[in-house]
A and B are shown apart, each in its own frame.
Chain A
Amino acid sequence: MVFFPFVDAADGIFFEDLQPGQEFTSPGRTVTEADIVIFAGLSGDYNVLHTDAEHMKASIFGERIAHGLLGLSIQQGLAARGEPAAALGLLSGLKWKFKGPIKIGDTVHVFSRIASKKDGPDAGRGLVTVERRLLNQRGEVVQEGESEHLVERRKP
């Protein structure tokens, strides 16, 4: 695991500071019934998968599961708690797979790794690709993918 050096907020983290192979492990977060209810209310996605406990008893999951996009949103918040998130602010692309269910009471954390960096669409910014995995308390990958970020270069 690589620890990102403390950087003064006024300086920020720039494209030049990020290197392929740098890794980050986030804190954990327990996904609760309240998270699912709030996300259903916010998104308007009331699919029975997430809201009907009786219906889900008969499903392959046996109970309600979190929305896939709730897991992704929690992933994004966990990643922001320690990754050089200020630098990775502008998301330009995302490829994502939902591999397994997140159930009420599961505790998830993020493992991320800087995969590559290359020139961006203009001279002032570069493109950084980050591999991301969302794991549960048993170490199973429940979601994974990669994100592309436009990151400012240090001013000459």
Chain B
Amino acid sequence: MSGAALAPVRCYFEDVEMHVPLETPGVTLTRAHVVLFAGVTGDTALRDPESVPDLLPLCLSSGLGWRVPRPPLAVLAFMGFEWRFLSALVVGDTIHSVSRTLTKRSMREGGVVIEERRIVNQRGETVQSGKLTLLVARRPAP
């Protein structure tokens, strides 16, 4: 089998569709997530063990984005984001994310994609939301 046949399928800049909502599967927030995240951040402040750290849902949503019926986006760099924290989450809540592309701008290195993303809880309430700016690779020449 040739190397080319094994090359992973990617969603390149040219493949990104505007305004098409992409909904991920869910993940239930557990104490294990909270403890592992505290280890990563090093935030040792005493908090309610049932409360979910503010940044954890956004971190989990980046992994949820890989579990959708679309090849993974060929992200070259995460350039920045703006984010609102609308309501607190607790252990036991189940979140998923809903995103859509707002703008695409072609650049020499690739293309800049601005994505709107919402984190939604098990009651359908948006708990966090914002816009992410990503640099996405162009489809390589065949």
Contact = CB atoms under 8 A, between A and B. Distances in A.
B84 A69 contact: no
B45 A39 contact: no
Interface string A83-101: 0011000111111111000
Contacts of A47: 72, 75
A74 B40 contact: yes
B40 A45 contact: no
Given A91-B85, A98-B78, A38 B58 contact: no
A81 interface: yes
Contact of A45 (B37, B45, B66, B84): B66
Interface residues of B, number: 35
A96 B80 CA distance: 5
Interface of chain B, helix or strand or loop or mixed? mixed
A73 interface: yes
A43 B62 contact: yes
Interface centre among A77, A85, A90 (most CB of B within 10 A): A77
A44 B63 contact: yes
A97 B43 contact: no
A82 to B, nearest CB: 11
A33 interface: no
A38 B42 CA distance: 13
A45 B62 contact: yes
Contacts of B36: 38, 42
Contact of A39 (B40, B42, B65): B40
Interface of A: 29, 35, 38-39, 42-47, 49, 67-70, 72-74, 76-78, 80-81, 85-86, 90-98, 145
